[in-house]
Structure 1
Amino acid sequence: MNIVLKLRYWIIGFFGVLFIVCAILFNSVKVNYDNTKYLPESEPTKQALVVLDEEFGLNGSAQVMIKDVTVLEAANIAQQIKTINNINNVVFNAWDPHYFKDDQALLIVAFEENNYAKETKQALDDIRTLLKNEDFYLGGESVLVNRYSEVIQKEILKILAFIIPVIILVLLLSTSSWIDPLLFLIVVAVAVIINMGTNVMFPEISYMTHATCGILQLALCMDYSVMLMHSYQHFLKESENPKQAIVKAWKASLMPILGSALTTVTSFVVLMFMRYKIGFDIGIVLAKGTIISLIVSLVLLPCLLLVFAKLISKTMHKSIIKPSPKLVNFMMKRRWILPLIALLLIGASVYWQNKNTFIYGELAIAQDSSDEKTDQSIINETFGIRNQMVILIPKAESAKEPLLMTALLNDAATHQYEVSELLSVTMFDQTFTRAAFEVYLQNFGLDATMQANMLQIFDMMALEKAPQDSFSINEMITYVTTTNNLTINQKMQLAPFSAQIQAIKAQLVSAKYHRLLLTVDLPSEDEKTFSFVERLRTTLDETFTQATHIVGESVAITDMREVVKNDYRKVSLISMAFIFLIIAISFVSVSIPMVLVLIIEGAIIINMAIPAVFGQSLLYIGYIIVSCIQLGATIDYGILYASRYLHYRGDYDVKEATNYAYEDSKTTVLTSGLILICAGYLLGMVSSIPSIAIFGTLIGRGALISTLLVLFVLPQTLAMLDPFVKVTTYRKKRKS
């Protein structure tokens, strides 16, 4: 440490340069919004996406609803949208009530690229520009994703603008110098920016990681600076030499800080064991951030303390948080009551936690957001839910497609949902009577002249091929191209119809597969939808001998649901086992890790039971990740108190040891706890991205419950279990 202090100006300069470089690199970090990328390679959805991309390409889509338009106006708008760059196709069937009713039109837009591409974002912007004078609504995953990409950078700055003043206020309440909060913010800002800038080393990070890692790092890792600062102030009272006080404080704080960092890093490393790889994404970024915060706190903060030592001394003030012996006496007199209340509360929470209902996908969460809820809900209320799936059928077994289509229609009738669209290349082999063909032409969206021309072709075929009176689309196109009864000019007039049919076929047939487009009126996720996906997979397995594939939001969520359910059990057990082991080794004790893990796990159970009590759905990925973060981060509060209790228990009785330990640890626990509480709740209140808002609220509430249990339940629990702690904890003999 003496060498570090000697080189303090060089070190401050080095971190300053690194801060600037990483701040510049921050804008170059690539952000991913496609959660299917985090599914294991073995999952059916992941395999299906690879095949779909190879055979047909991955095309994004959007729904455009326009109010107060006529059929002709809607058809004209559809044609205008189709001319926009990066738009592959626009579907609008004027005579189909799923596309037009009550002077309201629904256009289904297919993009050249996927939902997450820059080209898709530009096409959406162009659609908005084109329709600026219309009363229109945009829906679909592409709209949601591109809105997130627009707001996420702004929201990070917005959240920081809210949280920094709150942190300054908390630090002013808990420190004894007006300069201390400034030093804390410098250290944390340097650590956060270095971490976020160095994320450029990864090919990409998830939008959830990008939006939350800086805020969480700020809240979780300030403990190290707080612990070192409080230790410095303690030793400064013994020695008026700031340099000596810093060296002593650094040595005294090193092991507690390393222990705290180790439990936090462990909770993030455990996330990397998840099969759903968003856990790895969040875990590795936050683990890196914790290590960076540790280095910055142990290297940069001592240098700043020495540089600003005189200014710190000149700006000293009395700590606003005062000792509270009356509170400790009150708790000790009623030491059975609060632990008993906590135990009953945890027991009730176990029951309620099992009543939780979960959300797995972003679209379902977005039903509670602002713009998307308004637009998508209006579209759904007007035209019904459009849940589209793509089924890939091996070309060698395409003859069985009609069997599948019949099975799907029968399933819809049995389970009471509507198949609003079932598009397959085999439909062009389906025969039509003249009346049925006339209806088909109307639904196909052709103008009156083209409809009349095609009906004339039908009549010519009926006359030539009598008594046959029904024909397929393929038969009619073949007739148009081969007959000698039409002039070249007449054939040219019919070419647009043939071209449209060929364009549709090109989208439905590849070298190896036929593509079947299925649209149902089921929500993106609920038990009925999950059951439908499972029945569909069973039907495909029973109908076809070769491998088939399904792609769709509901299919991906079904796979995600199974993956994350298994992840929760694995991650919870691993995190508890590792943290138990770390604490057991640190304290050379069996009882201390038991008590601390049970207290914090109790806080987690209470936190996760609250949504069920209030009838709210819980984001499952947040359920897993927040459980790990809450355990790894807030158990540090318990470790701090337990270490001080054991220290004083060597010289004092239970009551006095409890009193001294409480006063020693209270300020640090309150400071760290309040910062994490405020960071979580502000993230929940400020973010307009629903999954991130839920994530933040869970963290804030979890930190609040953990802090309360550590401050008001842990002291009495250790006091009551003192005889058990004594015989299960190894203590070194003190030198006389």
Structure 2
Amino acid sequence: MKKIFKEIIKHPRAVILSFFLMIGISVFFYPRISVNYNINDYLPEDSDSTLALDKMNSEYDEPIPNARIMIKNVSINETLAYIDKIENIKGVDSINWLDDIVDLKKPLDTYDKNLIDNYYKNKNALINVSIDEEKTISATKEIRKIIGENNNMTGSAVNTAVATESTVSEIRIITIVGVMFMIFALILTTESFIEPLIVVIGLFSAVIINAGTNIIFGEISFVTNAAGNVLQLAVSLDYSVFILHRYKEEKKKYKQHLKAMDEALNNSFSSIISSASTTIIGFLALCFMRFGIGRDLGLALAKGITISLVTVFTLTPVLILYMDKLIEKTEHRSFVPSFERFGKLVTRHMYVFVAIFVILVIPSYLASNSNSYFYGSSRIFNEETKLGQDTKEIDDVFGKNDNYVLLLPKGELEKEKELSKELKKISEIDTILSYVDTVGETIPSEFLDKDIEEKFNSKDYTRMIISVKADFEGEKTTKLIEKIQSKISKYYKNDYHLVGEGISTDDLRKTITEDMKVVNIIAIVAVFIVLLLTEKSISIPVILVLAIETAIFINLSIPYFMSSTVFYISYLIISTIQLGATVDYAILFTERYCETRKIYNKKEAIIETIKSSTVSILTSASTLTVVGFLLGKLSSHGILSQLGYFLGFGTSISLIIVLFVLPGLLSIFDKIIQKTSKDLDFKEVV
């Protein structure tokens, strides 16, 4: 790498022009990247619900209802007038209401009251609408204009529309505030007013290039779009700070600034590569999830950290050398105190901290695995939001409701009739719309209205639209799905397809629960191997992974002790992100300890390590913590908000363990570290 670094330093203009070109290309492509807010789209292609949905879309033009609209205090005729207006909106594929089931010319009291109450109750009308996924935002806006703010709408299509619009504006605020805090932290922890500017230019260049090059994926998930950029900023911040600090150290030894920078790059290369490699590997572990959001986020973040790494060793050194005189002219006294006293305090009580750490390991592990979870998107907007309030009002009047679509092989009318009778015995099933229920098995299809025929029958399949009184997810919903599947299998074995929001969510539950075990094991093993190779030690990887994994256990146990429900997607993603992002602090601390331990005895080495590394660790950790809490506080999207809080608390816990517990672990295992590490020669200095 020495030759490469020399060439980079010798050709600063070429480096800057190259980055200008890459930034220009990225800015051009960034607006052209589409963002997907539909969680169910990230189910594996071979999952039952994905295969069933593909089959239904290929056989039928009319999709499953994905929005529920409640019009208050209306008559039957007024409801029909609303339906006429909604039907004319571009993006509305179909509408299902009472007039599809009964003859409204007859008095309603001649029909089963339970049937009527599913659609019209206490002068409130509940309309089921199918909205085209590509026109979700425009269609929901038009529907809202027609029904007004006093009426209510909910459903997966509405979730997607609200998430799309709110997330964009919220992330803009989070990014601005996060960057402002990062600049503030850099001003406090650097010794020149120009140094923060250099770091910010380098970081933003890497983030813009990464954001624009996401065009290679064609489409990115809402999680990647919302959290990817700010995570890249916060995680890669310490690489730039480390280069700056190292350069200033080398300047004291060499008068020639080019020589000082060359030495700084060479001497910091292994430490930064070690930290970045564990982070990249941690993010790449997400790619082993069958659930597509993990792969989407993992690839984008791994690419982002790689770009940040390249930027740190190319653009950042060039900027430092260009602005070297300005750095010297704008130098100021350090705004942060010496951490020597803090080092002595930690050293005095480090074994107590280790004892507390050991006590917490098993309970936090058990608690972190005992949380209750949400798996789908039905709870992402709480009752403090308009959508959450709308959902509650609809549920209060009409109860929880979902629609399942069952595809059956066409041509066995008697079997279909028997199955329909069996399904109606299930108490949670409200209504069934099907060919045999609406028309009857005795009337030939050629005598039917074409619209009715196409609604139920395709070339090879017939379908039943099953309305159920059930939430989109939960233990009761899982049991209901199993009960329905059991009834269908009695007649059709596995020759059927079942589609619906609840079905997809249940598939999601099965998929990402399996992912958890795989991703965690891969992440831990991969990070361990990287540390084994970069640190050339057997014991150091064990100590560092144990420290950070315990921080993860403690973080994920917080919801359990607070009796709150966790979005499993957030739970799954944060365990890998926290490992990949915060193990850097442990690496930096340990490498400093090993350096100082060659000169000082154990206690003095720990004090010196805390004194020299705390500023760098605090700069990165405080930024990541603030970004996390900003995401948690400002995002109305439940999954992103919870991911943010996990990130904020997780980074703080990792920081505490690195600064308070790791010193004691390094001291206790000092001799073992020396014996199990290559080229480590610790000295006992009196």
TM-score of the superposed pair, with normalisation by structure 1: 0.87
Q: Report the counterpart of residue 151 of structure 1 in structure 2.
A: 166
Equivalent residue for 1:90, pick from 95, 105, 108 = 95
How far does the alpha carbon of each residue in 1:317-372 deviate from its partner, in whole angstroms, 9 at most, with x for none?
A: 12222222232222222222111112222332123223200111111233456121
Shift of 1:635: 0.8
Shift of 1:571: 1.0
- Alpha-carbon separation, structure 2, partners of 1:233 and 1:549: 66
| 1:635-674 map, 5 Å | 635-674=583-622
Shift of 1:550: 0.5
1:272 aligned to 2:277?
no
| 1:342-357 map, 5 Å | 342-357=357-372
Shift of 1:272: 0.8
Shift of 1:693: 1.1
- The answer (yes or no) to whether the contact 1:394–1:546 under 8 Å persists in 2 is no
1:122 aligned to 2:138?
yes
Identify the range of structure 1 (535-544 vs 726-735) with the bigger mean alpha-carbon deviation.
726-735
Shift of 1:212: 1.1
How far does the alpha carbon of each residue in 1:201-229 deviate from its partner, in whole angstroms, 9 at most, with x for none?
A: 11211111111110111111112111111
- Alpha-carbon separation, structure 1, partners of 2:93 and 2:574: 41
- Alpha-carbon separation, structure 2, partners of 1:64 and 1:51: 27
Change in Cα spacing, 1:149 to 1:335, as seen in structure 2 (3 Å) is closer
Change in Cα spacing, 1:504 to 1:367, as seen in structure 2 (3 Å) is farther
Equivalent residue for 2:153, pick from 138, 141, 151 = 138
Shift of 1:19: 1.6
1:100 aligned to 2:120?
yes
- Alpha-carbon separation, structure 1, partners of 2:681 and 2:607: 23
> What is the identity percentage for the equivalent residue pairs of Structure 1 and Structure 2?
32
Equivalent residue for 2:324, pick from 301, 305, 309 = 309
1:573 aligned to 2:573?
no
- Alpha-carbon separation, structure 1, partners of 2:416 and 2:117: 26
Change in Cα spacing, 1:689 to 1:663, as seen in structure 2 (3 Å) is same
How far does the alpha carbon of each residue in 1:11-58 deviate from its partner, in whole angstroms, 9 at most, with x for none?
A: 223212322331231110011223233222321111101111111144
Shift of 1:588: 1.9
1:203 aligned to 2:218?
yes
How far does the alpha carbon of each residue in 1:689-726 deviate from its partner, in whole angstroms, 9 at most, with x for none?
A: 22111111111111110011001110111112212222
- Alpha-carbon separation, structure 1, partners of 2:125 and 2:215: 44
Shift of 1:727: 2.0
Shift of 1:164: 1.1
Equivalent residue for 1:63, pick from 61, 68, 77 = 68
| 1:415-430 map, 5 Å | 417=428, 419-430=429-440
Gaps in structure 1 of 5+ consecutive residues: 432-471, 482-497
Change in Cα spacing, 1:422 to 1:573, as seen in structure 2 (3 Å) is same
- The answer (yes or no) to whether the contact 2:597–2:682 under 8 Å persists in 1 is no
- The answer (yes or no) to whether the contact 1:389–1:517 under 8 Å persists in 2 is yes
- Secondary structure (helix, strand or coil) at the match of 1:635 reads helix
- The answer (yes or no) to whether the contact 1:75–1:92 under 8 Å persists in 2 is no
Letter in 1 for 2:345: F
- Alpha-carbon separation, structure 1, partners of 2:146 and 2:290: 43
Shift of 1:152: 3.1
Letter in 2 for 1:663: K
- Secondary structure (helix, strand or coil) at the match of 2:117 reads coil
Q: Report the counterpart of residue 389 of structure 1 in structure 2.
A: 404
| 1:357-396 map, 5 Å | 357-367=372-382, 370-396=385-411
- Secondary structure (helix, strand or coil) at the match of 1:356 reads coil
How far does the alpha carbon of each residue in 1:581-626 deviate from its partner, in whole angstroms, 9 at most, with x for none?
A: 1112222211111110100000000000001111111111221211
- Secondary structure (helix, strand or coil) at the match of 2:388 reads helix
- Secondary structure (helix, strand or coil) at the match of 1:411 reads coil
| 1:480-559 map, 5 Å | 499=449, 502-545=450-493, 547-559=495-507
Shift of 1:409: 2.4
Q: Report the counterpart of residue 548 of structure 2 in structure 1.
A: 600
- Alpha-carbon separation, structure 2, partners of 1:712 and 1:546: 57
Equivalent residue for 1:26, pick from 6, 15, 30 = 30
Q: How many matched pairs?
A: 663
Letter in 2 for 1:55: E
- Alpha-carbon separation, structure 2, partners of 1:557 and 1:38: 11
- Alpha-carbon separation, structure 2, partners of 1:364 and 1:411: 26
- Alpha-carbon separation, structure 2, partners of 1:169 and 1:670: 13
- Alpha-carbon separation, structure 2, partners of 1:382 and 1:624: 35
1:294 aligned to 2:306?
no
- Secondary structure (helix, strand or coil) at the match of 1:318 reads coil
Q: Report the counterpart of residue 716 of structure 1 in structure 2.
A: 664
Change in Cα spacing, 1:309 to 1:97, as seen in structure 2 (3 Å) is same
- The answer (yes or no) to whether the contact 1:98–1:106 under 8 Å persists in 2 is yes
Letter in 2 for 1:39: L
Equivalent residue for 1:242, pick from 257, 274, 282 = 257
- The answer (yes or no) to whether the contact 1:364–1:524 under 8 Å persists in 2 is no
TM-score of the superposed pair, with normalisation by structure 2: 0.93
- The answer (yes or no) to whether the contact 2:40–2:504 under 8 Å persists in 1 is yes
| 1:322-333 map, 5 Å | 322-333=337-348
Equivalent residue for 2:572, pick from 616, 624, 629 = 624
- Alpha-carbon separation, structure 2, partners of 1:14 and 1:730: 40
How far does the alpha carbon of each residue in 1:116-138 deviate from its partner, in whole angstroms, 9 at most, with x for none?
A: 212x4333222223334x73211
Letter in 2 for 1:16: F
- The answer (yes or no) to whether the contact 2:283–2:298 under 8 Å persists in 1 is yes
- The answer (yes or no) to whether the contact 1:60–1:142 under 8 Å persists in 2 is no
- Alpha-carbon separation, structure 2, partners of 1:635 and 1:86: 48
Letter in 2 for 1:702: G
- Calculate the aligned-residue CA RMSD, in Å: 2.1
- Alpha-carbon separation, structure 2, partners of 1:104 and 1:624: 41
Shift of 1:538: 2.2
- Alpha-carbon separation, structure 1, partners of 2:169 and 2:308: 24
1:614 aligned to 2:562?
yes
Shift of 1:302: 0.6
Q: Report the counterpart of residue 355 of structure 2 in structure 1.
A: 340
Change in Cα spacing, 1:504 to 1:162, as seen in structure 2 (3 Å) is farther
Shift of 1:59: 4.9
How far does the alpha carbon of each residue in 1:236-292 deviate from its partner, in whole angstroms, 9 at most, with x for none?
A: 233344322222111111111111111011011111111112211111111110111
Letter in 2 for 1:226: V
Letter in 1 for 2:201: I
- Alpha-carbon separation, structure 1, partners of 2:453 and 2:207: 53
Greater Rg, structure 1 or structure 2?
1
Change in Cα spacing, 1:545 to 1:626, as seen in structure 2 (3 Å) is closer
How far does the alpha carbon of each residue in 1:436-485 deviate from its partner, in whole angstroms, 9 at most, with x for none?
A: xxxxxxxxxxxxxxxxxxxxxxxxxxxxxxxxxxxx8x49x99xx8xxxx
- Secondary structure (helix, strand or coil) at the match of 2:381 reads helix
Letter in 1 for 2:452: I
Shift of 1:60: 5.1
Letter in 2 for 1:722: D
Identify the range of structure 1 (372-381 vs 598-607) with the bigger mean alpha-carbon deviation.
372-381
| 1:471-482 map, 5 Å | 474=443
Shift of 1:307: 0.9
- The answer (yes or no) to whether the contact 2:280–2:302 under 8 Å persists in 1 is yes
- Secondary structure (helix, strand or coil) at the match of 1:363 reads coil
- Secondary structure (helix, strand or coil) at the match of 1:420 reads strand
